[in-house]
Every structure is written in structure tokens, then in C-alpha cells.
Amino acid sequence: MSQTTHQSARGVEHAATATEPNTARERLLQTAAQLFYGRGINSTGVDLILAESKVAKGSLYHHFSGKQALVLAYLQRERDDWQRSATASDDLTLDSGARLDALFSGVVHSVHAGTFHGCPFTNAIIERPDDAEVRAAVDGYCDQLRQHLAAITGESPTSALVQQLFIVYNGALTALKLTRDLEAVESARCLAQQLLHEQQAQRLRG
Amino acid sequence: MSQTTHQSARGVEHAATATEPNTARERLLQTAAQLFYGRGINSTGVDLILAESKVAKGSLYHHFSGKQALVLAYLQRERDDWQRSATASDDLTLDSGARLDALFSGVVHSVHAGTFHGCPFTNAIIERPDDAEVRAAVDGYCDQLRQHLAAITGESPTSALVQQLFIVYNGALTALKLTRDLEAVESARCLAQQLLHEQQAQRLRG
DNA sequence: TCTCGATTAGACGGATCTGTCTAGATCAGA
DNA sequence: TCTGATCTAGACAGATCCGTCTAATCGAGA
């Protein structure tokens, strides 16, 4: 999600997952991520990935068992990137409001960078609704997101507040994809702040 | 969206768009809608549609110029169905809260009916991100939804409240697709009611 | 120097997909 | 009865897509 909802990784210099920078495998994964995310998984053939990454077909099948493995590696990388950039942009010295704000600012930045194409995991499960492996990756991402929201708010990942922020955040991404209007993000940001304030007011009272 | 977020049309007896009930064209469109929505547009070949609808290939290209035309007809039908079932389930004698509730109840019903696969328009634009005709259909749907929310709340379609409800509603659908947990819909429903109440309280004060 | 893993270039087969076409059946209306 | 629109069954071409395979190159390390 790095390229999507957070300013980061792909495109910049970027040190990857700790792999050497310019191996065929790395170029492959990087190109696949761009194409899968930007044009869709199902409408991106391996031949296009090979042409754009300037990697030979043999190398692809040397490193990956097939396109499916490449898709899963792409989703795994999105998870890693999301985690990395979410925690990187999360300044623990700030208050909850500012930390929540950073989440939405990441989305805005990706729009300005022209790299926003929706949530990679939502996109993936829509393109491959019956794929158990994609489903597992999506489940993992949902847990990540909820835990991040829980950390910010100081609530449990299963709390009502986290659940609602989960909806507002995903609503922002979907509405933005639908309308291509950044107003959706601003409305969502504002709504999220409202919810946070209500929780804080309630804490003071209770 | 009938089959997705509202209990209705497809599957039941159903009188269609005013077309004769059992023509090849009608069977085609009905089957295409089911398959496009349930399995995805890109991963549904015309041959599968033909086999399931028991229509000959010649008939398809007699009524439609190609798969793309079938896709657009499918989206147009989803818009019509959504409009029909949204207005049908919208009891004007009830208060705003109950009318807003009906919207979310539609989603719950489609889950129980086993026909929920997300928002057809979100799915379509994700599968075909660069398709201008799909984009137009999506834009039209967004307007419909906003106008419906505006009618319920008595606000302008561009008001902050409608904008936020738009996000919450789409957030509910996306979160439900991601997690397959109806709790997402209940949280969203509750959140939507909160927003509505705040508006009403504000109206009394202001 | 030798070896082995990584890599390239590209041919190839088999599957699938879209769209065209032919040939004939059915049916309703003039 | 004749006509024309609708429909069926299926072959077919052309494109694309995935994965396998061969033959050859490169580079690092033993």
C-alpha cells in the first residue's frame, strides 16, 4: 500500500525487503507491483511484466512458480510496505488526533503523486474473489490495519471505535476511487477526528 | 445493485426493464449480470455466459455489439435495479432514521440471501480502471446514491452530511467485502444514525 | 580454470478468449 | 404462403495468455 496510501518506497531509491537492489527478481517484483496495482491483476499478462522489467521469461519461472506466486509476492510486499510506512509516518510523540491525521495524509500524498489506484487488497479480492491465498493476504492486511488503528487510539482492535475507523478509512479509499475527488478524503478525515474526540470526551466523563 | 444491497429483482419472478421475460436477450443479460457480479467481469468469458444462459453465440452478437456492450448493459441494469429497489424500500411516511436504516438492511438481506459480492460499480471500476464507459456508469451511480441520501436527510447532495454518509455506506460495503463480517454493516449503520442525529440536534439548535 | 547458479532471448504448445461466419430452424405477421 | 426477424449449433480465425523448453551467456566463487 506504500505507493497508494503512504508516501514511500516504490519509485524512490528504496532498499526493498533487504534483497539486493537490481536482481532480476527484484526488478520483476517491482514492475509487477506497479502493473498489478495500476492496471489490475487479471488484465496484466506476464509477458507485459517481462517486457517492462526487461527480464527474460526463464528468470520469472526460476524465481516464481507462476503468475499466482508473483501475485502473492506482490501482496506480501504491499503488506510489508504498508506496515513500514505506516509505522514510519507514525510519530509516537504526537497525540492520537495527529497520528490519525497522518494516515489520511498518506492517501492525499499518493493522489498528488499520481500513484493512487485504490486499496491494493480490496482490488485484489475483487479481482480474485474465490482465491483462498489472496483471501489470506487480505485477512492479514485487515488485522494489520486494525492493530494500527488500535495502537493510535489506545483501544482494542475489536473495539467499536476501531471498527468504525476501519469503515471510515476504507470508505475514504473506496469513495476516492469512485469519485476521484479528494473531498472524500477530507470528509473522512474530519469524520474520523469527530469519532476520536467523542471517545476522548467519553473517557473524561466515564 | 438490486441483488447486492437490496432484496429484489434478479432471482425472484421479476419483470425486468419492461422487456419480454424470456427472450434470448433477456436470459443473456440476466446470466451475464449474475456471472459478472459474482465472479468478476474480466474472468467471465462470453462462452460461459452463453453456456449458462443456453443462448447461441449468434444471438449474443445479434443483440450486442460485443462483450463491452454487454458489460455496459449490465451496469445500466444495476443502476435501474438499484434505483427501483432503493425507492421501493423507501417508505416516505417514515422518519429519516428509519429510511436510512432501510438502506443498510438491504445490504444485510443480500448477505443472508448469499448474493452479496460488494458494490457492482466499485467492482467494475477496479476491474476496468481505464474504461471511460464504465467510468461514466460509475459516475451516474454515485449521483444516484448521493441524491437518494439527500432525499432521505433533506440535505443537498453536496452537503457535508451526505458526503459523510456516502463514505460510511461505501465503507460498509468495502469492509464487508474485505472481512465478510456483518458486524461491519452494523457498525456503519450505527455510525450513520449518529451522524443523522447530530444533524437533527443541530437543526433544533440552529 | 572450472563450475554452477543466474540470466537472456525466443521458440513453442496448449489453452482460452473474442468475434465472425455459415447453415438451418422457428415463429409471427403481412 | 411468403418474408423477415429471431434463434440455434458449432466451426473457425486471430489474438492473447501461461508455462515449458532449449541454447547460450555471464559472473562469482571453489
Q: Considering only CA atoms, which of A176, A167, A170, A174 is closest in space to residue A195?
A: A167
Helix (H, G, I), strand (E, B) or coil at A90: coil
Q: Does B162 touch chain A (CB under 8 A)?
A: no
Rg (CA), chain A: 18
**Who contacts B120 (Cβ-Cβ below 8 Å, separation ≥6)?**
B1, B4, B36, B37, B74, B75, B78
Helix (H, G, I), strand (E, B) or coil at A10: strand
| pLDDT at residue B2, as a whole number | 41
Beta bridge partners of A10: A12
Nearest CB to B174: which of A127, A163, A174?
A174
Chain A residues lying within 8 Å of B146, measured CB to CB? none
The nearest CA of chain B is from the CA of A21 a distance in Å of 30
Asked if B42 lies within 8 A of A40 by C-beta distance, the reply is: yes
Protein-to-nucleotide distance from the CA of A41 to the C1' of C18, whole angstroms: 20
| pLDDT at residue A24, as a whole number | 87
pLDDT in tens, B124-150: 999 999 999 999 999 999 999 999 999
Which nucleotides of chain D have an atom under 7 angstroms from any protein CB? 6-11, 16-23
Chain B residues lying within 8 Å of A188, measured CB to CB? 164, 167
Q: Please name the amino acid found at residue A14.
A: H
CB A152 within 8 A of CB A100: yes
Dihedral, B6, B9, B13, B15 alpha carbons, nearest 10 = 150
pLDDT in tens, B6-57: 433 333 223 333 445 689 899 999 999 999 999 999 999 999 999 999 999 9
**Who contacts A176 (Cβ-Cβ below 8 Å, separation ≥6)?**
A107, A111, A116, A118, A182, A184, A185
Protein-to-nucleotide distance from the CA of B133 to the C1' of D3, whole angstroms: 38
The pLDDT-based confidence of B58 (bands split at 50, 70, 90) is very high
Helix (H, G, I), strand (E, B) or coil at B12: strand
| pLDDT at residue B18, as a whole number | 43
Backbone angles phi, psi at A90, to 5 degrees: -100, 100
Q: Does B137 touch chain A (CB under 8 A)?
A: no
- Could you check: is the Cβ of residue B54 within 7 Å of any atom of nucleic acid strand D? yes
pLDDT in tens, B97-107: 999 999 999 99
Classify the C-alpha dihedral A20-A24-A29-A31 as positive or negative: positive
- Could you check: is the Cβ of residue A67 within 7 Å of any atom of nucleic acid strand D? yes
Q: Does B166 touch chain A (CB under 8 A)?
A: yes
Q: Does B202 touch chain A (CB under 8 A)?
A: no
Protein-to-nucleotide distance from the CA of A153 to the C1' of C10, whole angstroms: 56
Alpha-helical runs (H) found in A6-89: 24-39, 46-53, 57-63, 67-88
Let me know the angle formed at the C-alpha of B13 by B18 and B64, rounded to the nearest 5 degrees: 45
C-alpha A26/C-alpha A59 separation (Å) is: 11
Q: Please name the amino acid found at residue B37.
A: Y
According to DSSP, residue A28 is labeled H
Protein-to-nucleotide distance from the CA of B83 to the C1' of D5, whole angstroms: 33
C-alpha B6/C-alpha B87 separation (Å) is: 10
| pLDDT at residue B21, as a whole number | 62
Residue A55, sorted as left (phi over 0), alpha (psi -120 to 50) or beta, turns out to be: beta
The nearest CA of chain B is from the CA of A142 a distance in Å of 8
- Averaged pLDDT, B63-71: 97
Asked if B167 lies within 8 A of A173 by C-beta distance, the reply is: no
Q: Does A206 touch chain B (CB under 8 A)?
A: no
pLDDT per residue, tens digit, chain A (206 aa), is 444 444 333 333 333 334 456 898 999 999 999 999 999 999 999 999 999 999 999 999 999 999 999 999 999 999 999 999 888 888 889 999 999 999 999 999 999 999 999 999 999 999 999 999 999 999 999 999 999 999 999 999 999 999 999 999 999 999 999 999 999 999 999 999 999 999 999 988 87
Q: Considering only CA atoms, which of B10, B126, B84 is closest in space to residue B134?
A: B126
CB proximity under 8 Å: B 22-61 to A: 38-40, 42-43
End-to-end Cα, chain B, rounded Å: 37
Q: Considering only CA atoms, which of B172, B177, B24, B86 is closest in space to residue A175?
A: B172
Residue B176: all three cell numbers together: 464487508
| pLDDT at residue A4, as a whole number | 43
pLDDT in tens, A153-199: 999 999 999 999 999 999 999 999 999 999 999 999 999 999 999 99
> Whats the size of chain B, residue-wise?
206
| pLDDT at residue B19, as a whole number | 45
**Who contacts B41 (Cβ-Cβ below 8 Å, separation ≥6)?**
B71, B123, B124, B127, B128
The nearest CA of chain B is from the CA of A167 a distance in Å of 5
Rg (CA), chain B: 18
The nearest CA of chain A is from the CA of B164 a distance in Å of 6
Which nucleotides of chain C have an atom under 7 angstroms from any protein CB? 6-11, 16-23
